[in-house]
Structure 1
Amino acid sequence: MSVDWKRLRCEHLGEAHPRLLPPSLKLPILPAAVQEFNRLADDPEASLVDLGRVVESDCGLTAQLLRMVNSAALGLKKKASSAQQAIAVLGVRSVRLHLLAAGMQLAMKTHKSKLINMTAFWHTNLERAFVARQVAELLGADENLAFSASLLHDFLLPMLTNELFDDYLRFSETPEDVRRPLVDFEAETFGWDHARASAHVLLAWGLPDDLVCAVLWHHRGLQLLSDVELGRTAAAAVAVAGLVPDPLRQARGGLKHLLWLHEHWPEFDLPRIAEYAAQQLHFLSPAAGQHFTLQRRLEKYTAGLAEK
């Protein structure tokens, strides 16, 4: 069943309205090469050579893109050695999504947060992205879209937690057993939440409606998986991956929901998916050795059960 993403985006988000954010908030700036690639990607006259040259004008972006596309996650028989080869093998749309994720990661390297450990933040985002890719494969959905949306959906949080530090500190210091989900806290405190705000920013940047919607709904968890229209889309995969616990502890019970899904969906082998995500994380980020992965969380949970 084909999904009319533009209709859904118009119904649930409307047009781009990034002004709902604090006016003093400094948004990350995508590398010029990513912005130019986005423009050329919509030009039917643009050639692979033109697109490849745009990417390769930024050495850091090229290296990041090739590292992503050559990871075992994509299973390419022949490794890409240039941006043009990556585009030829994966297609313009897939490379556009990977470039966006790589560009955002590079743009965020200069940002620091007074509340969030940025190393743990990015490692969690990467791990979630690999979980989303696996779930998308099970659903027969767009794996590259799921990967990119999962990598991007929390990109505003480091800046928001700096700009509105006292409010987010109040959230983080609330005991977990009585804490509301972060999006509920944000909606009550600010009149918006980071998922909606991020979707508006991505829409203002001219990014595809399916990506925008996946970011918008990334906190809907298992609810989206059971949705008649969206349950077999990349957006559902992103929502499932969003249950992986994160440093800010945005929602309670994420691990329990994943374990429930493991028990009730035979194809959803949580230990295998967690192992895969950990392996891919360490390939893309060798410094992630100390990261408390989903795999380690499961091992700790299992050990705790054995002791009872």
Structure 2
Amino acid sequence: MFTGSIVALITPMDEKGQICRASLKKLVDYHVFNNTKAIVSIGTTGESATLSQEEHINIVMLTLELADNRIPIIAGTGANATTEAISLTKRFEKSGISACLTVTPYYNRPTQEGLYQHFKAISENTDLPQILYNVPSRTGCDLLPETVARLSNLSNIIGIKEATGDLSRINKIKELVENDFLLISGDDTTALDFIQLGGQGVISVTANIAAKEMVQICSYALKGDFVNARSINKRLILLHEALFIEPNPIPIKWLAKKIGLIKYDTLRLPMTSASNYTQLKLEKAIQHANITKY
């Protein structure tokens, strides 16, 4: 269930910044229909940074309810305080959540030993499968391959979302971990190359509006058919790049509204709506990708 195209789901909000249940249901149904392999609820793309912990929990549980066992739900449970990450993780035990995605502690910039002890403490306090999440551009710290290898020896740490965009990381990690340890890309632009080098899939921002295409790319790539995979990916390259002209999830929310998947592109401050320049780039990207409107 944790291979192929996994979506880093946006959190749809109404014009007042409250959760829009109707749009969330539409998004979940869209991913079920297009055979997305799993949904990550309340990761970076889901705006975890501007939600209260109770909102965070409630949205994950609502997503689980709307999924109704049709698609696995992975809960974002990261925090920069270990006790908070443990508390959040424990709230999802026996809930039906399939796994947790746990980002490296942000802002406080722990050492490698601190990172190891952080994830070890979480692992020891839950039976839920844990997927590490390394995104140094956001967090200010980098989970190095040697530390990943140490953590891979803990029974319920099953893989890593590697979002550095550095393809050399794949071999460095693969050399140090067992074959069943999952390597999942967190960077749409390099995801196809990541899979070709031995990764098992991608946790994708692009999949929010191009679910079918991302599923096809991953399916072809995992079967070794890189001709067809690259043919589809070529259409999405401008989109992969345009989605990060401004900080995620500003562009993807604007596009999700544009194609009719959500009603509003509301974000909570300090995030603001896409600029006119970004909108023009996004329009060009979806035309090039030939994305269907809903």
**Pairwise TM-score range, normalised by the shorter structure:** under 0.3
Larger Rg belongs to: 1
More strand by share: 2
More helix by share: 1
